[in-house]
A = this chain, B = another copy of it.
Amino acid sequence: MAKDLAPGQLLARGVMRCLMEHGFACLPEVVPKPGLRVDVMALGRKGEIWVVECKSSRADFTSDRKWQGYLAYADRFFWAVESDFPTEILPVETGVILADRFGGEILRMAPETKLAAARRKLVTQGFARTAALRLAGQDPSGLSVFL
């Protein structure tokens, strides 16, 4: 399995496992608006929305020109990096998750900037539709509408 996944996708796997342990439902590779793709979006039991960007290297981080655009779609924003990543270069106003392909832990909690109600509604609906449509395409229970 692993050989088919990019380093960032492997990190996303560990991140999702970590966040599920914190009670979140997670979805990888979510597009909240055209041209913007977040690595992991997570929805908590109280409706809180977290976004995590996975960075496999310093170069992967420094070449990212889009991350500030993600802030408008999350109550809290985190980076996920491996343990050898120089975390001191990450902006102090963001959260940090140490992860590998097998799991992760929250190293620094992100500050909370609550989404406005209208934005939250749209993001939650988009998350819901994306998850259900993906599920319909690959549900092995026999209920899949495409099979």
Q: How far is the CB of A116 from chain B (nearest CB, A)?
A: 13
A114 in the interface (beta carbon within 8 A)? no
Chain A interface size, under 10 / 10 to 19 / 20 to 34 / 35 or more = 35 or more
Chain B residues contacting A139 (CB-CB under 8 Å) are: 134, 138
| Contact of A133 with B13 at beta-carbon distance under 8 Å, contacts A139-B138, A142-B2, A143-B5 already known | no
CB–CB A131/B135 < 8 A: yes
**Would you give the 0/1 interface string for A1-26, flagging 1 where the beta carbon is closer than 8 Å to chain B?**
11011000100110011001000011
Footprint of B on A, CB under 8 Å? 1-2, 4-5, 9, 12-13, 16-17, 20, 25-28, 43, 45, 47, 121, 124-125, 127-136, 138-140, 142-145, 147
